[in-house]
Chains A and B, each alone.
Chain A
Amino acid sequence: MGRIYEKLKGRLDVEVCGAYVEGLLNAAALSAIALWDIQCVDDCTVRLRMYETDYPALEALSEKCMCQLKPISLSGGSRDRKLIKRRVWLLLFLLLMGLLLFVSSLFIWEIEVVGNEQLTDGQVLRALSRCGVDSGTCRYSVSADLVRSQMLRELPELAWMTVNISGSRAVAVVMERQEKPEIYAESAPADIVAARTGIVRRLSVENGRPVVHSGQSVLAGETLVSAEMDSLSNGSKYVRARAQVLADTWRELSAVCPAREEVKRPNLISRSRFAVIFGKRRINLYFDSGKAIDECDKIIHEYKLGAEGLFALPVTLVREELRGYDTQLQSACDRQEMERQLNRLLLADVKGQVLGKSFTAAGGETLYVLTLRCHCLEDIARVVGF
């Protein structure tokens, strides 16, 4: 600040000639004219540095002391002040922008939600809006404790939340409630049933009473190992059946896709149009709000004014890019891709090994169907409690 003040006052290098320059120095000191870097050039000449604004006073004194002044160089001062006067509108604009920035920093213009997994940003933002935290809310009117208690009532899925406000940016930190895990009783009686239809190849029972034998065909859901066992003491007892039941199973997976589909071919027609959003009010800078091109993709680019992570202004520039396209019919099936997808589904489903598989394709003009048939050897035991 001091430097700016000195720059505006201006530093002037002056050469003083006279028979008794010391007299002028003394008179200047008595008149409170600040002088510095006073260098003796010869017996009758000194060079000194002073503020430009003091020059007229020193000039008046020099006449009394019979000395001559000769300005040598000037830095800052009137020259800079003239420049500022010439750019007064620019300065006023900068001042106005600074003022707007200050005023806008008193309000929240950007809300970010972090920590949500199940809840969407929209759900949290809508709940925040109902609790009084919205774009354009005065930052000093938001009480984090109050918002927290209201939000926990609004969204029962929340375990905890808080709102951190820095500048015009509010960050809602949420922590979601975790579902209680299902309590699983290790020793509760349970049967083992067939998870899939198949032919039992090998049965290894650790606990329980087997009700099927190797080579027997079973349907999905049919009991394989019963929890009810004979007891020597009181007739029967119930245990938690444990067994591995390896069975031959067969699967059939199908993928269907249209034989032909319309695909977009971008043409050279493209257009951009602009809009400005102040707070929540959108102002379109174009007249035809409908689509200007019959068939087109609309890509919206939004540029928020402000410094990322520091502050945000309530102004968003929007650029809508319309890219035209033509449609064309072409074959839609990609057999290799369909086979890959079917294989992926099969591997995710089978809990054993695949012994053999084959693909068959069928299709007409509209649909193409690819079927995967496979033979697997897998454990079909599934524990089912009472």
Chain B
Amino acid sequence: MRSKRELPQELAERLALPEDALLGTAKLTVTGGKRLLVENHRGVMDYGRERIVVSLGRGKLNISGTELVIAAMNRRELLISGRIQSVEWE
């Protein structure tokens, strides 16, 4: 028996619907190691030139690199540019 929290995920899997659209789960798009687009973020937890931590609701994203800059930010999307070395999902 699955819990109530997992029900929407189960439904999305069964119906083959995209989870990011249905459940608002985070979606990452990395372009050439220089741009990273985070969709459905929950805010910035820590911001530095070499490390940016982004909250994803269930978990967080550690982005490491150099000359990191938040190029644009709105309620849903976060665009990070710079030299991205690693992206860690916790």
Contacts and interface: CB of A to CB of B under 8 A. Distances in A.
Interface residues of B, number: 16
Interface string A24-43: 01101110101111111001
Interface of A is mostly: mixed
B44 A25 contact: yes
Contact of B69 (A25, A26, A30, A39): A39
A22 interface: yes
B72 A36 contact: yes
B71 interface: yes
Interface stretch (B17-25, B27-35, B46-54): B46-54
Nearest to A38: B70
Interface of B is mostly: strand
Interface residues of A, number: 17
A174 interface: no
Interface in A1-57: 21-22, 25-26, 28-30, 32, 34-40, 43, 46
A40 B50 CA distance: 10
A29 B72 contact: no
B11 interface: no
B47 A34 contact: no
Contacts of B46: 22
A29 B73 CA distance: 7
B69 A38 contact: yes
A358 to B, nearest CB: 101
Nearest to B53: A22
Contact of A40 (B45, B47, B72, B78): B47
A26 B74 contact: no
Contacts of A34: 72, 74
B74 A22 contact: no
Contacts of A36: 70-73
Contacts of B75: 29-30, 32
A38 B70 CA distance: 5
A14 B49 CA distance: 18
Contacts of A32: 74-75
B43 A22 contact: yes
A38 B75 CA distance: 15
Nearest to A28: B73
Interface in B70-89: 70-75, 78
Given A25-B44, A37-B71, 9 more contacts: A22-B45, A25-B73, A29-B43, A30-B43, A35-B73, A36-B70, A38-B69, A40-B47, A40-B69
**Which 5 residue pairs of A and B lie closest in terms of their CB atoms, listed nearest first?**
A26-B43, A38-B70, A36-B72, A22-B44, A40-B49
13 contacts: A22-B45, A22-B47, A25-B47, A26-B43, A26-B44, A28-B73, A29-B75, A35-B74, A36-B70, A38-B47, A38-B69, A38-B71, A40-B68
